[in-house]
C-alpha cells in the first residue's frame, strides 16, 4: 500500500489506472476506522481491480460549534487497517491543498440537504457534496462506496452524481452494528460506559418503530414516532434532536406509512450526537 498526500500525484495515478483500463474502487472516510468502514473497504476490494481509500477530516462539513478539533485521528491504526484489508492507495490530502486561500466553489444539493440532519447542520451537506466531488475528481473512481448509516449523505451523493453526470457508480452498503445493536461510529469513542449503555436504546427505538409499521398495512407517522419515543424516553441521559419518518428517496415527511419508509434519528448522549436509521421496505 502506498500513501499519497499530493493531489496532483493522486490524480496522475488515477489517470494511469484509467488508461490501463482498470476499475477503481474508492472508499472516502474521515478516518478513525472501525468495522463499518472495513465492510465498505472489503466490498470495494472484491468489486474492483485497484482500491483507494481516503482519510480526510473535512473542515467544511463541521459547524462552528462542532467537534472538528476533537475528531479522533489515529493515523497509524488507520494505516494498518487499510493495509490489512487490501487498500492499494491511501489518499491523505492536506487541508491547505484541498482548501487553499481563495477557495470559493460549493456544491449544494438543495432539497435533500434540508430535512433531518440538514435542519440542524445547515452547511453540512454542502461541505460533504463539495469534498466528495473534489475527491472524485482526484481519484476518478469507477465505483464509490458509502454506508447507509449516513443515509441522507448517501442520498445527497446519489443526487449529485445524477445531476452532474459524474461517471461513477455509487454503491450503498448496510449499517454495521455492535452486538448490542449500537451502530458503529467513530464518535462512539466519545461515550462513557453509561452513555454507551443508554445509546443502545437508539436502535431499540428504531426497531420498535419498524415493528409498528410492519404490523399494520396503514399506520400514522405519529403512531410510529410515539413507539420509538417511548423507548428513547425510558433510557436515561438521551436527548432526541429529531426522530422522523420520511419517504426514503425524497426524504420528505410521511404523515402515514403505507409503503417504504425511513425512520431516522439524531440523539444526544451527553454532548455526543449519534445518528441511526432503519429502512423499512413494504412495497
Q: How many residues bind ligand AMP (CB under 6 A)?
A: 17
Q: In which residue are the cell numbers 454532548 written?
A: 271
Between helices 35-47 and 75-84, what is the axis angle to 10°? 40
The number of helices, as runs of H, and strands, as runs of E, in the chain is 9, 11
CB burial string 244-270: b at 16+ within 10 A, e below: bbbebeebeebeebeeebbbbbbbebe
Quote the least distance from Cβ 195 to ligand AMP, whole Å.
Answer: 17
Residue 33 CB, nearest approach to ligand AMP (Å): 7
CB of 129 to ligand AMP, least distance (A): 13
- Of the pair 27, 213, the CB lying nearest ligand AMP is at 27
Structural Rg of the chain based on CA atoms: 19
Subset of residues 118 to 147 that bind ligand AMP, contact rule: CB under 6 A? 146-147
Are the CB atoms for 268 and 241 separated by under 8 Å? Answer: yes
The residue (of 185 and 244) whose beta carbon lies closer to ligand AMP is: 185
Q: How far is the CB of 272 from ligand AMP (least distance, A)?
A: 14
Q: Which is nearer to ligand AMP, 171 or 197 (CB)?
A: 171
Give the whole-angstrom CA distance, residue 171 versus residue 220: 32
> Between 183 and 228, whose beta carbon lies closer to ligand AMP?
183
| Of positions 4, 14, 24, 40, contacts ligand AMP by CB under 6 A | 40
From candidates 14, 30, 135, 275, binder to ligand AMP by CB under 6 A: 30
Annotation marks residue 34 as catalytic = no
Catalytic residue from among 34, 37, 124, 165: 37
**CB of residue 243 vs ligand AMP: minimum separation in angstroms?**
19
Q: Residue 201 in contact with residue 234, Cβ under 8 Å? A: yes
Strand residues in 2-69 grouped as ranges (E): 2-4, 24-29, 50-55
Q: Is 29 in the site for ligand AMP (CB under 6 A)?
A: yes
Q: Which of residues 142-201 bind ligand AMP (CB under 6 A)?
A: 146-147, 149-150, 173, 175-176, 183-186
Instruction: Give the C-alpha separation, 124 to 1, whole Å.
Output: 31
Buried b (16+ CB within 10 A) or exposed e, 217-239: eebebebbbebbbebbeebeebe
Residue among 71, 84, 66 at smallest CA distance from 29:
71
117 binds ligand AMP (CB under 6 A): no
36 binds ligand AMP (CB under 6 A): yes
In angstroms, give the least distance from the CB of 256 to ligand AMP: 29
Residues that bind ligand AMP (CB under 6 A): 29-30, 36-37, 39-40, 146-147, 149-150, 173, 175-176, 183-186
Q: Which are the catalytic amino acids?
A: 37
Amino acid at each position: 500500500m502506498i500513501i499519497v498526500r499530493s493531489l496532483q500525484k493522486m490524480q496522475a495515478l488515477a489517470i494511469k489506472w484509467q488508461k490501463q483500463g482498470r476499475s477503481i474502487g474508492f472508499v472516502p472516510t474521515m478516518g478513525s476506522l472501525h468495522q463499518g468502514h472495513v465492510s465498505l473497504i472489503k466490498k470495494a476490494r472484491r468489486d474492483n481491480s485497484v482500491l483507494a481509500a481516503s482519510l480526510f477530516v473535512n473542515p467544511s462539513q463541521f459547524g462552528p460549534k462542532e467537534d472538528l478539533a476533537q475528531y479522533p485521528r489515529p493515523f497509524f491504526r488507520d494505516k494498518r487497517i487499510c493495509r490489512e484489508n487490501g487498500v492499494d492507495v491511501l489518499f491523505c490530502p492536506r487541508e491547505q491543498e484541498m482548501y487553499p486561500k481563495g477557495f470559493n466553489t460549493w456544491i449544494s444539493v438543495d432539497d435533500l440537504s434540508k430535512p433531518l440532519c440538514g435542519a440542524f447542520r445547515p452547511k453540512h451537506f454542502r461541505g460533504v457534496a463539495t469534498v466528495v466531488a473534489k475527491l472524485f475528481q482526484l481519484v476518478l473512481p469507477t465505483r464509490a462506496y458509502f454506508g447507509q448509516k449516513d443515509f441522507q449523505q448517501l442520498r445527497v451523493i446519489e443526487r449529485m452524481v445524477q445531476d452532474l453526470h459524474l461517471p461513477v457508480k455509487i454503491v450503498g452498503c448496510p449499517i454495521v452494528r455492535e452486538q448490542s445493536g449500537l451502530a458503529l461510529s467513530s464518535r462512539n469513542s466519545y461515550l462513557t460506559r453509561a452513555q454507551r449503555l443508554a445509546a443502545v436504546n437508539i436502535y431499540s427505538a428504531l426497531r420498535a418503530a419498524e415493528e409498528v409499521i410492519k404490523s399494520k398495512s396503514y399506520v400514522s407517522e405519529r403512531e410510529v414516532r410515539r413507539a420509538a419515543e417511548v423507548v428513547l424516553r425510558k433510557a436515561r441521559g438521551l436527548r432526541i434532536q429529531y426522530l422522523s419518518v420520511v419517504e426514503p428517496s425524497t426524504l420528505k415527511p410521511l404523515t402515514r406509512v403505507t409503503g417504504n419508509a425511513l425512520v431516522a434519528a439524531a440523539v444526544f448522549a451527553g454532548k455526543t450526537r449519534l445518528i441511526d436509521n432503519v429502512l423499512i421496505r413494504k412495497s
